[in-house]
Amino acid sequence: MVKQAADKVERYTDYGALPGKLVIVEGIDGSGKSTQLDLLRKWIQSQGYLAHFSEWNSSPVVRETTRMGKEQRLLSPMSFSLIHAADFADRLERTILPPLRAGAVVLTDRYIYTAFARDVARGVDAEFVRRMYRFAPRPSAAIYFRVPLQEALHRILGGRPELKYYEAGMDLALSEDPYESFEIFQGRILQQYEQMVPEFGLHVIDATLPITQQQRQLREFVAPLLSGCLRKPIMPYGRLAEEHGVRGVYLAEVGRRDDPDE
């Protein structure tokens, strides 16, 4: 069914020349993708590039509707799917396309593949979901952090007091036990992700590796994309100190080192 959907649907929209680069990370809960993306963002900034961050389900336009729907347990799988699509559409126009057009590196924690995994795991038709998100631009790099289900569950559930209703998939009547329901639901999501790896060409990183090793692989994969992206303006230390009225022998020496003619 998923393969048929991919054959029928134009996956992305062409927004023309976008000087920036769109880097997205995906994975089930507990994969460690958010930690890796944060480390990558800090590294990109340390290299002098402008990096803009966006995350799933964060649009202020629909946040209150989502919160109310969750609190009152009003969301069906289809309404949940449509709300997330509205959230993504708003973020795309406000926080993703503008920095891409400016030439920045845009980093997103979850992208349209999250909807493809979660909505289908909730029973929404795969082709319908893919058609709904076809306004999304193709990412420059799409990284999937692969982790075994039991390892992810151990990371998420260790010391955790309780699971939220929709987070555990309790709306699907998978089990009366929220922890068992969560395991079944995450298993369904994991299955969808694994099917998307060949379908969308997701770059796989083994999320069971040490954090430093994962980060090294992530940087090696993303580094070639940075050339030509917008860089932060850098002012030599000597000029910066002078503009703020700071004087001294040491700063004068710094100023000379900053001078490209020295």
Neighbours of 250 (CB within 10 A): 9
Sequence-distant (≥ 6) Cβ neighbours of residue 148 within 8 angstroms? 208
Neighbours of 102 (CB within 10 A): 15
Tell me: do 214 and 242 sit in the same domain.
no
Task: Report which DSSP code applies to 138.
Answer: P
pLDDT at 237: 56
pLDDT at 11: 85
Tell me: do 145 and 260 sit in the same domain.
no
Q: Domain limits at 262?
A: 235-262
Tell me: do 200 and 144 sit in the same domain.
yes
pLDDT at 233: 75
pLDDT at 248: 56
Tell me: do 112 and 213 sit in the same domain.
yes
Sequence-distant (≥ 6) Cβ neighbours of residue 224 within 8 angstroms? none
- CA 59/CA 41 separation, integer angstroms: 21
Lowest mean pLDDT among 29-43, 79-93, 137-151, 229-243: 229-243
Give pLDDT tens digits for 61-78.
888 889 999 999 999 999
pLDDT at 162: 85
pTM of the predicted structure, to 2 decimals: 0.85
Task: Assess contact for 86 and 61: CB atoms under 8 A.
Answer: yes
Tell me: do 45 and 164 sit in the same domain.
yes
User: Residue 153: pLDDT band by 50, 70, 90 thresholds?
Assistant: very high
Tell me: do 195 and 251 sit in the same domain.
no
Tell me: do 244 and 194 sit in the same domain.
no
Tell me: do 206 and 91 sit in the same domain.
yes
- pLDDT higher at 157 or 89: 89
Tell me: do 8 and 130 sit in the same domain.
yes
Domains contained in the chain, number: 2
